[in-house]
Amino acid sequence: MNLTLGFSPCPNDTFIFYALLNNKIASGGFLFLPVIEDVESLNRRALNHDLDITKLSFAAYPQVVSIYQLLDSGSALGNNCGPLLISKRNISQEDIANCTVAIPGEHTTANFLFTRFFPERHSVKPMLFSKIEDALLNDEVDVGVIIHENRFTYQKRGLKKIADLGELWETETRLPIPLGGIAAKKSLGIETISAVEQLISESIQYAFQHLDETIPFVKKYSQSMEEEVMWQHIRLYVNDFTISLGEKGKAAVEKFLQVSHSSFH
């Protein structure tokens, strides 16, 4: 059975799917066809119901919940891992309303959190997440919402943190911040979804047990990322919640969906 599988080139995703895509674990009769794009492109694909299985932002999930089922394995959530609001200049949080703000996509969790905590914003400019630091340094925007590995690189480039959106969420909810998850089309059926869920969990565990073998695959997609940044990225975004949400992870996702649902209505 052929299944299209969408995920990003970020280290946490390539780490998760290495074993699954390279015949390191029994595939259960599935052939996974990878579609590798940035998370906002995957969000849009999910909204169009393009892929059988896909990574997507939790902020996009409420809009496709009738079509896709969130899997227990593969999610990115945790503590101290949320999006950051940064700038080249010293800008107070009160001044954000008068700023042009770069966001990593309209449907991202990062944009949802920014909108929630800074509702009076002036001008928003969606762009690829990896372009936001340069846009700030080139004075194309005043403020940027950064995700992924940029939280490890912005200070080295002379940029300043204005707010930690994940920290604001954790303070409000006392729960981990759900960033993105893996969802499968409900039309695949319970047996297939359950099997895929199990395969993803096995793929993650294989990667942890065979780091030397997995890392070259991760490096292949991480572009010019420094190895230490790559490791920081994996350590932060691939954790126990990724193998299985568990009760605490499910409670965090449920809370996020409740809040986002009330925001949409």
Q: Give the Cα separation of 90 and 69 in Å (integer).
A: 42
Contact 44, 126 (CB under 8 A): no
Neighbours of 119 (CB within 10 A): 10
Q: How far apart are CA 102 and CA 112, in angstroms?
A: 13
Residue 210 catalytic?
no
Bridge partners for 69 per DSSP = 184
Helix, strand or coil, per DSSP, at residue 7: strand
Number of helices (H) and strands (E) in the chain: give both, helices first: 10, 11
CA end-to-end distance (rounded Å), the chain = 39
Exposed, middle or buried: residue 213 (CB in 10 Å: 0-12, 13-18, 19+)? middle
Cα–Cα–Cα angle for 28, 30, 35, rounded to 5 degrees: 135
Which of 49, 148, 210, 265 does the annotation list as catalytic? Answer: 148
Instruction: Read off the amino acid at residue 80.
Output: N
Total residue count of the chain as it appears in this document? 265
Strands (E), 97-167: 100-103, 123-126, 143-146, 160-164
The per-residue DSSP string of 21-90 comes to HTTSS--TT-EEEEEE--HHHHHHHHHTT--SEEEEETTTGGGTTTTEEE-SSS-EEESS-S-EEEESS-
What residues are labeled active site?
A: 148
